[in-house]
Amino acid sequence: MKGKKWLLSIVVVVCCIALLGLSPAMGAKSKFDPSKMGDMSDLDLSNPVIPTGDTIKIAIVASFSGPAAAVGDIYFASVQSVAHDYNKRGGILVDGKKKLVQVIKANHESKVPIAKKVSERMVLQEKVDVLWGTNGSHLMKVINQVADKYKTIAVSAAAVSDELYDAQNFSRYSFMTSISTSQVGRGMAYYYGQVRKKETKFYILCQDYLFGHSIAGGFKAGLKEYYPDAELVGEDYHKLFLTDFAPYLTKVKAAGAEVVYTGDWIPDAANLLVQARQMGLDLPFANLFINNPPFLQQVGIEGTDGLVHIGQIGSDGKAFKTEGQIKYYKAWNDQYPKWKKPFDTTTYEHGTGTIGAYRMQTYWLLDVIERAGSTDPEKIIKVWENDTWEDVNGTVYKMRGIDHKTERDLFIELYVPPEQQKESMNIEPYYWFKDCSNTGPSYKLPADKVTPVMDPKLKDIRKGS
């Protein structure tokens, strides 16, 4: 008997250790399953099949004209590809009926009044179920206000300012599936302070609006936390869609910076990098959005070597570790050659990186709707709050119930010349891009080191509700 108890104790201890050692992925409530993907062989983004009628409607509220028009196309490609997948599976069973997913473009022209107007039109006239946005936290704020007013689900897949989900701006109808500025800032600081431990002089150069200041604030807070020895040698905020970066870059040079930290997105990100290299400024840019292939190709292999990108999707080391990952990758990449303008550029070649992140966030959204079995916002909220979901790479996303921000691992990607890219791109042709540097070595930043900040006042507010 004694022997049996002893054996039982060992079994219990071993089980406990095994349970503790399980990856968080195994604990996720749901996951992306590549084996369930529909037939994607007819995915043609330039001639998308968009169902109409009684559908699940997702409005992409974004720039489809003006300086940031390309951003809207990227969002559309990402969301439409996911909608196509679900539609090829036969749709989603909601409220007792299988419905296809319809993606609608809603152009906010990068203007606040138009963002409000077009969001309201989407809700009231088009009767959309989800407002999906957007490039610009100031614009996402408006979308969230509309979502709150009309009790419609909003997804912040691309706007990353923490302030959007503080006590003042929080809406229980809006969910932040993207990373947040505090995560980006803390993640970069963690990498430089705790992993790399080399450069000490940093210069912050960001866009002068809510997002730019927020992402800079995240980095400053991160440096205090993870890299107190670092020195901030300069800090500047430039207007959105700036023409001439040379005056700022001259200041960066004079300040003796070793790394430029920037949250700039295109077209500013492109112009910043292009002009820096033209001016002989070869510093690494620690960035979130300097990853758009066409302008990386313009700068070339040498000029893009050493860029440090932080991503919300990725993997520690090799990009392809499972058959499922390869299947998912090829579902997009095999179709790419047949696409026409504007989807024929190298931006759309791989469907990974930023596009990959938007795709995964949209899969999560539709998975939540599927599990809710309804497009009723209250039912979606019930499922999504505190939900955990595993993406194609095994990363677990947790939707924090209190403030609707997502906790997840982040990834640092070091850009290296094509011959070294096989460290990440481990299937043929063993490089991401042959005419510019791109992801080579990559590092996982554990979710608990890069948790998004939470406004403590929210606890009281949400208790009340």
Site residues, another protein (CB under 8 A): 65-70, 72-73, 208, 236-239, 241-244, 246-248, 250-251, 253-254, 266-267, 270-271, 274-275, 278-280, 292, 294-295, 297-298, 341-342, 344-345, 347
* Cβ at position 414, least distance to another protein in Å: 23
* Cβ at position 75, least distance to another protein in Å: 12
Distances in whole angstroms, Cα of residue 304 to Cα of each of 291, 298, 301, 375, 449:
10, 10, 5, 44, 28
Nearer to another protein, 190 or 219 (CB): 219
Nearer to another protein, 221 or 242 (CB): 242
* Cβ at position 105, least distance to another protein in Å: 12
The answer for residues whose C-beta is within 8 angstroms of residue 19's C-beta and 6 or more apart is none
If you search the block for the tokens 């995964």, which residue do you land on?
Answer: 360
* Cβ at position 16, least distance to another protein in Å: 53
- CA torsion 65-67-69-72 (nearest 10°) is -120
* Cβ at position 275, least distance to another protein in Å: 6
Strands (E), 257-361: 259-262, 285-287, 308-311
Residue 405, φ and ψ in degrees, nearest 5: -105, 155
Nearer to another protein, 66 or 284 (CB): 66
* Cβ at position 77, least distance to another protein in Å: 11
Nearer to another protein, 127 or 239 (CB): 239
Nearer to another protein, 66 or 373 (CB): 66
- What is the DSSP secondary-structure string of 34-56? GGG----TT--TTS-----SS-E
* Cβ at position 247, least distance to another protein in Å: 4
User: Which residue type occupies 233?
Assistant: V
CA distance 332 to 337: 10
CA distance 446 to 184: 12
Nearer to another protein, 40 or 279 (CB): 279
Q: H or E segment at 443?
A: strand 438-445
To 5 degrees, how large is the angle CA 169–CA 175–CA 180? 75
Nearer to another protein, 256 or 401 (CB): 256
User: Which residue type occupies 71?
Assistant: V
Q: H or E segment at 101?
A: strand 101-107
